[in-house]
Amino acid sequence: MRVSTADDSAARASEYHSPVEATLDVIGGKWKVVILYHLAHDGTHRFAVLRRKIPGVSKRMLIQQLRELEDDGIVHREVYAEVPPKVEYSLTEYGKTLRPITEVMCEWGQRHVKRIKAKKVRSGVVGK
């Protein structure tokens, strides 16, 4: 688990050997891009809604990934003074700059799924 502070971010910035490393430092991991996709394309979400949209993620991991994205200035966490507590997550203006990345990844993923399905059809593995 990465705990980020301003000092840590500055130190990490000097360690990058390419812009891709800097990008992956922020959005790398199994769930971060999926979280970004839902926030970028579906807007503000409550925690429970995000968890339902990402069925494979544990509660602990979702919390961790959201905190890291918040620490990096990508996600905004809004806590409402209600009982029970209401917490909503949205992209910051800076976080919205990642939307083109999620769009390209989505397009590529759609093409990849079609390719896999076509390969199964050709090999006679349909429905297995």
Walk me through the domains of the chain, giving residue ranges and CATH numbers. 6-123 (1.10.10.10)
Q: Residue 111 corresponds to which amino acid?
A: R
The one-character DSSP state at 30 is T
Starting from the edge strand earliest in sequence, which strands make up the sheet with 45-46, in order?
45-46, 86-91, 75-80
pLDDT tens per residue across span 2-45: 555 556 666 666 788 899 999 999 999 899 999 999 999 999 99
pLDDT tens per residue across span 30-89: 999 999 999 999 999 999 999 999 999 999 999 999 999 999 999 999 999 998 889 999
Tokens of 86: 């209401």
At 124 the pLDDT is 79
